Amino acid sequence: MPELITLASSLDIGGVRIRNRVFLAPMSGITDEPFRRRAHAHGAGLVVSEMVASGELANGRAGCDLRIRHSGLPVHMVQLAGREAAHMAEGARIAAGEGADIIDINMGCPAKKVTGGYAGSALMRDLDHALSLIEAVVGAVSVPVTVKMRLGWDEDALNAPMLARRAEQAGVRMVTVHGRTRCQFYQGKADWRAIARVRQAVSIPVVANGDVGSPEEAATILEQSGADAVMIGRAHYGAPWAAGSVAAAAADTSTHSIPETPQALADYVVAHYEDMLSLYGVESGLRQARKHLGWYLDRHAARASAEQRKRILTSFEPTEVIRGLREALADPVMLTEMRSAA
């Protein structure tokens, strides 16, 4: 896989050096500080915060501070969403003030609650308005600004190359393209070849995203898109090491710190759970951790009984949850799935 080798090299984004070219995608409600720390420790070249609503950030809504707080990692990248230029500019200034090294603008989220507010991928329906937001953010901060987008709103409006070109002219230093339209959501297969049209339209780095979860898929998306880097999202469900595993394959090295035994896996999941409780507090942390615990169980404890799963995913007692996790993850059979993900 000769294309894969390029992912092991560093990348410059507006003067910020990224150690390799395999990135963790920003995912709302998922890529919080505990998750980003794990992905980085496993070798992901760049990790991005979950989406932060610029209006809520600018207005001081509780909880936004946790999303933009510097995690102590070498590169702190914050993703902002919104539709008001003033809010986007102020949100960018606040994030930069908290130590953000890169600001990413969300123009790709397909969720109805985002597009219904004319943000996310809805911005691709009005490129003039999208450019007004980009110009506001670029003008507000001195750190590099990037944009994440889709191919377009639907098959009749595949305008990602035009948006990327205009974004570059406005001062954006990198674009990421998910190989689907908004109307596809996550259905069907991402069109990796279509990303090549964006690569041909700009001179800044282009990152390819969509349906990548293995070294083989990473090599193929590079070959078909001509992109400079890859971004991996949903493959991280229950496997925070996914991007790091691809980066390790590209560098022909071992993956960092993947748990190799049932005991190590149980310790890993419990530590992740406890970190979330510490960050959010027990009441909120219990709720927010459940999706992660569900993914860990799906991937690594498929033979757990329905009763075990229910106890783990509904209990309000952390000690009971931890006890249930250790019991469910004690089965070594599912470690083959974990190793295949690596």
Residue 65 · residue 33 · CB < 8 Å:
no
d(CA 262, CA 237): 18
Per-residue DSSP letter, 121: G
Which is catalytic among the residues 48, 103, 109, 194? 109
How far apart (Å, rounded) are the C-alpha atoms in residues 228 and 208? 8
For residue 107, which amino acid is it? M
Contact 93, 57 (CB under 8 A): no
Residue the block writes with tokens 């406890």: 274
109 counts as catalytic:
yes
Q: How far out from the chain centre does Cα 193 lie?
A: 21
DSSP assignment string, 249-305: HHHT-PPTT---SHHHHHHHHHHHHHHHHHHH-HHHHHHHHHHHHHHHHHHH-TTS-
Are 268 and 287 in contact, with CB atoms under 8 Å apart? no
Round to whole Å and give the CA distance between 32 and 18.
Answer: 20
In the sheet with 22-24, reading across from the earlier edge strand, the strands are 46-47, 22-24, 229-232, 206-209, 174-178, 145-150, 102-107, 77-81, 52-53
Cα separation, 294 vs 299, whole angstroms: 9
Active centre residues (catalytic): 109
